[in-house]
């Protein structure tokens, strides 16, 4: 149970667990009209869209101690028929697309991790690297293309079995930048300019990520997973709590959801209950 200072005291409790099933997203790298690398379907998956990846807590096994999931899959669009191309917006042959984790926001002391698969369809068993919350100029990166940067190679990449993890519960905002790691461009440089930073949301565990006073009351924002229904509840005492439902249940769609709570009494505590 945690307390967050607001105009009226706010206590937030969390019940239930997210699941990884049903959230497998493919986020595709290609080029824009200016020939710079870009995430082609960022409008569906970037933070601004409200899409969120759930990282359920794992208590045992090789992933024990982490909030972790093997989604999303970051891909690079193919240029050749053998890999299902040519796809609209693919990078030039010879491009080796990599994604760099430039920045990470989230709970203080947390770390966001990447786990490389030992082979396609094989699950990663060891943490490859992690990036601490607060990073603003990160250099850790992972390849999207499956080539080695040889001239004329298909930029295609579609690797399963990778994992993303977090060490502490909370909402993480992760900024990625795409770049061409080949030397097949002019003067031995890249074939395409690097992308702008695109940010993605990852929710570790079940938390209310934001509580902000609004025009009509207190706006509570949380990640709502597909296949789950959420009910916001409140009580004025934790000694003998009498939880009361506020508003109607929220059906999850792998998106951030906001419920407006009428201005509470001088002291109130809130929770989200997963039905």
Q: Residue 118 — φ and ψ, nearest 5°?
A: -75, -10
For the entire predicted model, the pTM comes to: 0.89
Give the pLDDT band of residue 47 (cuts 50, 70, 90): very high
Write the pLDDT tens digit of every residue in 90-127: 999 999 999 999 999 999 999 999 999 998 678 899 99
SS3 for 45? helix
pLDDT at 264: 61
- CA-nearest of 128, 134, 72 to 103 is 134
212 burial (CB, 10 Å; 0-12 / 13-18 / 19+) is: exposed
pLDDT at 123: 87
Domains delineated in the chain: 2-15+208-274 (2.60.40), 26-204 (no CATH)
- Residue 23: is its pLDDT beyond 60? no
Mean pLDDT of 241-270: 88
Give the pLDDT band of residue 267 (cuts 50, 70, 90): confident
Which three-class secondary structure string do you get for 126-189? CCCEEEECCCCCCCCEEECCCCCCCCCCCCCECCCCCEEEECCCEEEEEEEEEEECCCCCHHHC
């Amino acid at each position: 149970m945690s307390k967050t200072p607001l105009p009226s005291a706010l206590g937030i409790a969390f019940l239930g667990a997210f699941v990884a099933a049903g959230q497998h997203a493919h986020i595709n790298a290609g080029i824009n009209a200016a020939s710079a690398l870009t995430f082609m379907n960022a409008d569906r998956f970037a933070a601004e869209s409200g899409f969120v990846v759930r990282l359920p807590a794992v208590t045992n096994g090789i992933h024990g101690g982490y909030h972790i999931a093997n989604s999303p899959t970051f891909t690079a669009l193919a240029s050749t028929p053998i890999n299902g191309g040519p796809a609209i917006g693919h990078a030039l042959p010879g491009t080796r697309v990599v994604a760099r984790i430039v920045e990470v926001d989230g709970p203080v002391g947390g770390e966001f991790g990447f786990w490389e698969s030992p082979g396609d369809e094989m699950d990663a068993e060891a943490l490859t690297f992690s990036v601490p919350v607060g990073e603003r100029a990160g250099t850790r990166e992972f390849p999207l293309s499956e080539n080695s940067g040889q001239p004329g190679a298909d930029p295609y990449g579609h690797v399963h079995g990778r994992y993303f993890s977090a060490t502490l519960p909370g909402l993480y905002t992760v900024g990625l930048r795409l770049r061409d790691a080949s030397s097949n461009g002019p003067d031995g440089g890249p074939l395409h300019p690097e992308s702008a930073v695109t940010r993605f949301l990852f929710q570790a565990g079940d938390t209310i990520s934001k509580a902000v006073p609004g025009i009509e009351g207190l706006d509570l924002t949380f990640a709502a997973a597909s296949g789950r229904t959420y009910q916001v509840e409140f009580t004025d005492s934790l000694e003998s709590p009498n939880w009361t439902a506020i508003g109607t249940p929220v059906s999850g769609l792998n998106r951030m959801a906001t419920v407006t709570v009428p201005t509470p009494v001088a002291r109130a505590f809130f929770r989200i209950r997963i039905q």
